Structure 1
Amino acid sequence: MNQRILHVLEFDKIKEMVKSQAASSLGQEKAAALHPSTDLAEVITWQNETDEAMSVLRLKGNVPLGGIFNIKPHIKRTVIGGMLHPQECLDVASTISGGKQFKHFIEAMEEPTLPILRELIADIVPLNELERSIKSCIDDHGHVMDGASEKLRGIRSNIRTNESRVRDKLDSYTKSKAKMLSDAIVTIRNDRYVLPVKQEYRGAIGGIVHDQSASGATLFMEPQAVVELNNQLQEARVQEKNEVERILYELSAKIAEDEDFLYQNVEVLTQIDFMFARARLGQSMRAAMPKMNDQGIIKMKQARHPLIPEDEVVANDIEIGESFTSIVITGPNTGGKTVTLKMVGLCTLMAQSGLQVPALDGCELAVFSNVFADIGDEQSIEQSLSTFSSHMTNIVDILKQVDDRALVLFDELGAGTDPQEGAALAMSILDEVVHRGARIIATTHYPELKAYGFNRKGVVNASVEFDVQTLRPTYRLLLGVPGRSNAFEISRRLGLEERVIETAKEQIGTDSKSVENMIASLEDSRRGAEKDYEQAHQILLEAENLKREIESQWEQFEQKRDQLYQKAEQKAEKAVQKAKEEAEVVVSELRKMKHDASLKEHEWIEARKMLDEAQPQLKNTKGKQKTKQADTTKTLQAGDEVTLLTLNQNGTVLKQISDKEYEIQVGIMKVKAKRKDLQFVKRKEPLVEKPMATVKGSTYHVKTELDLRGERYEDALMQLEKYVDDALLAGYPRVSIIHGKGTGALRTGVQNFAKKHSHIKSYRAGGMNEGGSGVTVLEFK
């Protein structure tokens, strides 16, 4: 885009704001090169990057991007064989560490998914060995440590020894010859230890003079006795310097070996820092991610100018590109028309640069191939151009390039010349740009353009509101309403006589009066609509609050109901358990009396089963199910099968006690029940006589074998006992009991039963043709 347009819309200030949010010089360089893109796919990618970074900031508050430096010049120097200084090596290690730290930070985040950041950090190479090599040689202050090499450790130990010997020797001078010294201290000149000797004692001390005071009264002398020691110290320091340089060359060579990985890490960290700089700016502006399109559609609710402080700026709604493609804004000076133009233009440039815009969520902006702006007084004395000529020069350039993918911003179109000619020229220019399909926002003072939007398809009037009562603009943009001059109302408020105002009204033409009346009517309608909207919005808020309150109360009711159901179920379960325990005691006592042969084993097992089934199956209904109601319309009679709802058990009607009470057989128990607690199931069918099998002169329905496979142990013994009685009545000499092999428990139960039964003579396992060990054959007496 044209650099002049970026300057006019103050995009450079936005770049500086992004730059200030960067955590490193890498991000700052990237921000300085920020430029809007005209490719929709690229813009959408940039917006997704910013939004992803914004998500991380919302969740974590901040990200670890410290300690990252622009090490590209360092890498380049090592590649050509140069030696890095300790601090430069440390910058390389710090950048490696910063990359690893950020990588671990993102990997530790489970939500959200962060696909862009995860793809970026996958390219960060840890380079742990290089980092360890640098940090094992250089401390945090950029000083090469003694442990960098054994040789350096030895050299520095030698230096410390020599320094100690020199100091000890000189300290003896400060004590024994203190009167010859200007001050009893040891100092350094030219990297050698010396003493401050008074001029008159120069010969007494003897040695080399390295310096003197400004007055010449003090000489800084190296006594002859320490010259050799100082020489040894200097030699050790030279060795130290050489060893340090060797270590730094070695580290530089290692850095050069990882050149490609380091460059890759720097590029990734630059991109990441730039992403988060854009996100931080959006966070500081309370900005929203715009939905981007290439249809020239702009929709922003409560949009604010990015460069005006939030406590001063007036938010406005702006919409263009669907129902209309052009907006003509009229209104008084200092009313905010130019601010609106710049806000739309600047937000468009920001969105096309991957930045979020200061508006409510759900905003939508377009990607334009060009943004053109003719804003402000660009009169040039050097070029001898008038205001009109300057504006017209810009407009001519715009008309040469404008197309259907352009956004055009005209400020005071046609100003600076004869009003009649200027208005005609403004309408002609607007017609030309509208015809080319561009999106246009124009401001003007010309009253002729107030009716422009009513006579052109795709053009809408707008104005900035002016409060006649306070004589101040409100800076609110009103779409669909052209601006009024308000000259008469302002004059009246300022005290101009009504007679003068009325005379002035008579001077204006009929058309102007009609337009002003039309505008006044539109403003009245707008105010009425806004009032109705506020009332409807208030009612909506009250309804939503009431809905939330009712939902809360209903939830409390359901919780209370569930608690009551649970308590009732627990109480019923305890009652049934108590009854079952009492019945168990009774059954246990009866078992002790079972020496009477008439008491069959299967009767005890059946009684126990009935007790188990008597316990109701309680379920946590959570208030979702209602108690089942019996159908009392059906007349019951003896023999009918019914369900006793209080116990959820089936039984048989024995007799009717009264109109509302019956005696029911439930298993081995006889109970009395109300009619409302009985649910009719079915009526017993009349018995139909069937042919009987003849065995030893009598008839009886029974087979010569009993299959117990798949039965429960207790059920199987009940069936076995009943079957043996029937087989004895039928007069069978022997029968086969099929119990299968399985675990052997059922076979053992059958055989134990046979041992105890007084009418069974013997038992044996089945033969090869009888089923083998899966069958037991019983022989009767």
Structure 2
Amino acid sequence: MNEKALRTLEYTKIIERLTELAGSSIGKELCRNLKPSSNLAEIEAAQKQTSDALSRIYQRGSISFSGVQDVRGSLKRLEIGGSLSALELLRIAKLLETTSRVKSFGRLENSDREKDSLDDMFDGLQPLANLYNEIYRCILSEDEIADDASPALAKIRRSIRQTNDRVHTQLASLVNGSSRTYLQDAVITMRNGRYCVPVKSEYKGQVPGMIHDQSSTGSTLFIEPMAIVKLNNELRELELQEQKAIEAVLAELSNMAAAENENIADNFRILTQLDFIFARAMLSKSYNGTEPIFNEKGHINIKKGRHPLLDKKSVVPIDIWLGKDFRLLVITGPNTGGKTVSLKTVGLFTLMGQAGLHIPAFDHSELSVFDEVFADIGDEQSIEQSLSTFSSHMTHTVSILKEATNRSLVLFDELGAGTDPTEGAALAIAILNELHSRGTCTMATTHYSELKVFALTTPGVENGCCEFSVETLRPTYRLLIGVPGKSNAFAISGKLGLPEHIIEDARSRISEQDESFEDLLSDLEHSRITIEKEQEELARYKAEAASLKAQLEKKQERLDSAKERILAEANEKAHTILREAKEYADETIKNFNKYGKAAGVSISDMERERTRLREKMNAAEKNMAKKTPAKVKKAVDPKALRVGDSVKVLSLNLKGTVSTLPDAKGNLFVQMGILRSQVNLRDIEPIDEPVITASNFNRTGSGKIKMAKSSSVGIELNLLGKTSDEAISELDKYLDDAYIAHLPSVRIVHGKGTGALRKAVHNYLRRCKIVDEYHLGEFGEGDAGVTIVTFKK
């Protein structure tokens, strides 16, 4: 892609934002060097990586790559057998530590998920925990090696400490002894790496030793006493041995790192690539980006696209399509109406998409792969080159015409402006016609009416406009494709207060043909608005009709289901009635035959049998006439109500326990789980729960048990004024009773005070097996003076 288009379409600003999101220096370098590709396979692979990284960010949050250090130079030295410094080894350890953290981030919990494009990268990471743990064990900082890095180093440093102690002992005896009067100050100092004492110059003969330095005034000499010269020499030798031992430790660590040189190099390469990919994903997340669908046919279909550099709270989304039914779009409309933003949005989305970046638009937006994007946007006047705006634009246009093909995207802003309108319009039409004949995808903005006519009369060319409200004198920033824009110059001037006679004079000076064309555009605009309103109304009616149809279908389904059920029940009942009637008839005939044949059977016996059958029929009729009695609400006796009683709040359909007795108006508080609410006596009814005693110990229907003693358990225990032992004893019994009473939670009042009682309560609750969770009260619950306890279910 040409650099001018990247700058003009502000692609470089997107890259600046992307670079800020990378954590490592190499990741930032990859971001800075990101350029759009024209290879469809590469573009789709990059888009897939960005999407997969974004999915992982939404699942597990973001991850930092700031620990990725550039270790390529160190790895090169290891490759040729060199030894690394402490700082270089620490950088490798930091890289491996980051490798371990990133690999852990890459392990997603769902093992049944489909493999994504990043799994191979995460699987290729080798944390080498033993190596970086060993480096951290031996190297405390770039200037400090641990004593236990090696046995030899530990022994040498132990000798150094012992020799130092001997030196300080002898010097202390000198400083604090008889030689004190010869010293400038009673201090021990260092000169050239050797211990010295500050001696007054006039007493230099009284303190035998080696002179290492003197003060600027010459009044003080820094002398190394002869008594410690040997010890200082030993220290110097030990320091040299220490340096050799440190070099041996670094060499050993370097050998360990050299054995893993290839794995470390792979880790560095993968981490920098992941840093680059996740930076792209974070950029997408910042503007709610989506992955576009790509084609190579020149088709563009952007749905609700938002320019990523504009405030996403105020930018108006636009819909743009191009390349399928028409490959040339001419956009007209007033200034500040959004024409240039529309051009830049299409161009920038194309560059971003081909660079593997998501675009801020709705899902399934479509972009095409172009070999080149050309943009002639903005004021191109060049004083240095003595070029006017028109000349500069035309110079750029000439270069575009030399290179544009049917796989190019060309964007013109105010094509042909800056010169005579008649000639400028003619030139603009000729240039657009040339590009159109090549099959180049082109978008151009203009004020020329001639270009509107060109778009209306040429196949494969379409008009578009940025909507403008004459009433508010503000653009709506909506892009309308298929409608040419009207200049609205006269209407806007009138709204701004230009006298009517001047407007009429201006109107009389334009040709009748131009005026007719503008009137036609105005009529088209009014027709468009009317059609849009009618379409909205039709859509609303269709939605209502669809809703009513769905409701009617559901109602019909319910009726059909009820009808089938009623018929089935009626058939079943009819069958039962017929069966019983047959049984009655059979029994009657049987008895009649029995009584008719039997001699001496009285009429009274037959009447008794008849009466028995009649009673049976009456009983059946009585059962048929029975109706379910209406449920009567149980009244609450305020005088019999007690704190802790179980009640049901009718308006909420919840069970709870009484927290306070009712006031004069019948209002009281009921605790329903963690909810404590004020209700009226009219809104509650008592709940009869079975009380378990020795004679009726069994489970209720719901499986809940309630002891007789638990009926009086309240939801709050006040421990104020009690000692810790007294409080814990009372708390133990209260929690047992409350748990048996199936209270979901209780309040323990212990006050703030010194905090001793609260600490004792919390220590007990921590060990209590029936407690699920406890926490200090929040605002409105008693604050830190109260603990809320929730029982296990």
Do both share a fold (TM > 0.5)?
yes
Give distance in 2, aligned partners of 1:181 and 1:627. Answer: 122
Give distance in 2, aligned partners of 1:195 and 1:533. Answer: 100
Shift of 1:311: 3.4
Pick from 478, 481, 487 the counterpart of residue 476 of structure 1: 478
Greater Rg over alpha carbons, structure: 1
Q: Quote the residue 1:508 is aligned against.
A: 510
Pick from 345, 361, 377 the counterpart of residue 375 of structure 1: 377
Change (3 A) 1:13 1:221: farther
Give distance in 2, aligned partners of 1:207 and 1:509. Answer: 114
Q: Quote the residue 1:314 is aligned against.
A: 316
Give the 3-state SS of the residue equivalent to 1:429 in structure 2. Answer: helix
Give the 3-state SS of the residue equivalent to 1:110 in structure 2. Answer: coil
C-alpha contact (below 8 Å) 1:299/1:364 kept by paired residues: yes
Paired AA for residue 8 in structure 2: V
Q: Quote the residue 2:695 is aligned against.
A: none
Q: Quote the residue 2:209 is aligned against.
A: 207
Shift of 1:414: 1.4
Change (3 A) 1:201 1:110: farther
Paired AA for residue 237 in structure 1: E
Paired AA for residue 89 in structure 1: L
Change (3 A) 1:52 1:80: same
C-alpha contact (below 8 Å) 1:90/1:142 kept by paired residues: no
Q: Quote the residue 1:156 is aligned against.
A: 157
Which one is further off, 203-212 or 76-85? 203-212
Q: Quote the residue 1:104 is aligned against.
A: 104
Q: Quote the residue 1:127 is aligned against.
A: 128
Give distance in 2, aligned partners of 1:532 and 1:204. Answer: 115
Give distance in 2, aligned partners of 1:163 and 1:229. Answer: 8
Shift of 1:232: 1.4
Change (3 A) 1:166 1:437: same
**Would you say 1:303 and 2:244 are equivalent positions?**
no
Change (3 A) 1:495 1:101: closer
Shift of 1:194: 3.0
Give distance in 1, aligned partners of 2:198 and 2:545. Answer: 93
Shift of 1:657: 5.4
Give the 3-state SS of the residue equivalent to 1:292 in structure 2. Answer: strand
Paired AA for residue 70 in structure 2: N
Give distance in 1, aligned partners of 2:506 and 2:157. Answer: 99
Q: Quote the residue 2:68 is aligned against.
A: 68
Shift of 1:145: 1.5
Shift of 1:234: 1.6
Q: Quote the residue 1:193 is aligned against.
A: 195
Change (3 A) 1:208 1:655: farther
Give distance in 2, aligned partners of 1:123 and 1:12. Answer: 33
Indicate the percent of aligned positions where both proteins have the same amino acid.
45
Give distance in 2, aligned partners of 1:532 and 1:223. Answer: 108
Shift of 1:34: 0.7
Give the 3-state SS of the residue equivalent to 1:385 in structure 2. Answer: coil
Q: Quote the residue 2:571 is aligned against.
A: 630
C-alpha contact (below 8 Å) 2:86/2:142 kept by paired residues: no
Report the RMSD for the aligned CA atoms in angstroms. Answer: 3.7
C-alpha contact (below 8 Å) 2:189/2:196 kept by paired residues: yes
Q: Quote the residue 2:171 is aligned against.
A: 170
Paired AA for residue 398 in structure 1: I
Paired AA for residue 405 in structure 2: D
Give distance in 2, aligned partners of 1:22 and 1:543. Answer: 53
Change (3 A) 1:497 1:152: same
C-alpha contact (below 8 Å) 1:414/1:423 kept by paired residues: yes
Give distance in 2, aligned partners of 1:550 and 1:227. Answer: 110
Give distance in 2, aligned partners of 1:202 and 1:56. Answer: 76
Pick from 370, 385, 388 the counterpart of residue 386 of structure 1: 388
Change (3 A) 1:378 1:632: closer
Give distance in 1, aligned partners of 2:539 and 2:26. Answer: 49
Change (3 A) 1:345 1:120: same
C-alpha contact (below 8 Å) 2:305/2:362 kept by paired residues: yes
Shift of 1:259: 2.2
Give the 3-state SS of the residue equivalent to 2:450 in structure 1. Answer: helix
Shift of 1:624: 10
Give distance in 1, aligned partners of 2:115 and 2:221. Answer: 71
Change (3 A) 1:540 1:154: farther
1:476-495 matches, within 5 Å, as 476-495=478-497
Give distance in 1, aligned partners of 2:379 and 2:509. Answer: 32
**Would you say 1:415 and 2:356 are equivalent positions?**
no
Q: Quote the residue 1:26 is aligned against.
A: 26
Q: CA offsets per residue over residues 420-453 of structure 1, 9 Å max, x none? A: 1111111111011111111111112222212222
Which one is further off, 234-243 or 377-386? 377-386
Q: Quote the residue 2:642 is aligned against.
A: none
Q: Quote the residue 1:464 is aligned against.
A: 466
Q: Quote the residue 2:46 is aligned against.
A: 46
Give distance in 1, aligned partners of 2:569 and 2:503. Answer: 86
**Would you say 1:522 and 2:524 are equivalent positions?**
yes
Change (3 A) 1:632 1:247: closer
Which one is further off, 513-522 or 469-478? 469-478
Shift of 1:331: 2.4
Give the 3-state SS of the residue equivalent to 1:69 in structure 2. Answer: coil
Shift of 1:632: 7.3
Change (3 A) 1:312 1:497: same
Give the 3-state SS of the residue equivalent to 2:311 in structure 1. Answer: coil
C-alpha contact (below 8 Å) 1:64/1:105 kept by paired residues: no
**Would you say 1:431 and 2:430 are equivalent positions?**
no
Give distance in 2, aligned partners of 1:543 and 1:161. Answer: 97
Change (3 A) 1:197 1:347: farther
- Structure 2: give runs of 5+ residues left out of the alignment: 590-615, 622-793
**Would you say 1:139 and 2:159 are equivalent positions?**
no
Pick from 275, 278, 292 the counterpart of residue 276 of structure 1: 278
Change (3 A) 1:507 1:156: same
C-alpha contact (below 8 Å) 2:291/2:358 kept by paired residues: yes
Q: Quote the residue 1:666 is aligned against.
A: none
Shift of 1:198: 4.1
Which one is further off, 315-324 or 206-215? 206-215
C-alpha contact (below 8 Å) 2:290/2:358 kept by paired residues: yes
C-alpha contact (below 8 Å) 1:189/1:220 kept by paired residues: yes
Paired AA for residue 139 in structure 1: L
Shift of 1:160: 1.7
Q: CA offsets per residue over residues 328-358 of structure 1, 9 Å max, x none? A: 1122333332222122111111111111111
Pick from 400, 404, 407 the counterpart of residue 405 of structure 1: 407
Shift of 1:546: 9.8
Give distance in 1, aligned partners of 2:164 and 2:16. Answer: 53
Give the 3-state SS of the residue equivalent to 2:497 in structure 1. Answer: coil
Change (3 A) 1:55 1:169: same
Give distance in 1, aligned partners of 2:544 and 2:145. Answer: 71
Give distance in 2, aligned partners of 1:202 and 1:455. Answer: 111
TM, length-normalised to structure 2: 0.68
C-alpha contact (below 8 Å) 2:86/2:141 kept by paired residues: no
C-alpha contact (below 8 Å) 1:52/1:114 kept by paired residues: no
Which one is further off, 207-216 or 29-38? 207-216
C-alpha contact (below 8 Å) 2:34/2:355 kept by paired residues: yes
Give distance in 2, aligned partners of 1:254 and 1:628. Answer: 86
Q: Quote the residue 2:738 is aligned against.
A: none
- Structure 1: give runs of 5+ residues left out of the alignment: 562-622, 645-651, 660-671, 677-781
Give the 3-state SS of the residue equivalent to 1:139 in structure 2. Answer: strand
Change (3 A) 1:435 1:136: same
Change (3 A) 1:27 1:632: same
Paired AA for residue 511 in structure 1: Q
Paired AA for residue 630 in structure 1: N
TM, length-normalised to structure 1: 0.69
Which one is further off, 97-106 or 68-77? 97-106
Give distance in 2, aligned partners of 1:449 and 1:280. Answer: 42
Give distance in 1, aligned partners of 2:544 and 2:183. Answer: 94
Paired AA for residue 110 in structure 1: N
Q: CA offsets per residue over residues 638-658 of structure 1, 9 Å max, x none? A: xxxx8x9xxxxxxx9695458
Paired AA for residue 120 in structure 2: E
Shift of 1:79: 1.3
Give distance in 1, aligned partners of 2:378 and 2:66. Answer: 42
Q: Quote the residue 1:444 is aligned against.
A: 446
**Would you say 1:88 and 2:91 are equivalent positions?**
no
Paired positions, count: 589
Change (3 A) 1:471 1:197: farther
Shift of 1:212: 4.0
C-alpha contact (below 8 Å) 1:166/1:229 kept by paired residues: yes
Paired AA for residue 144 in structure 1: I
Shift of 1:508: 0.5
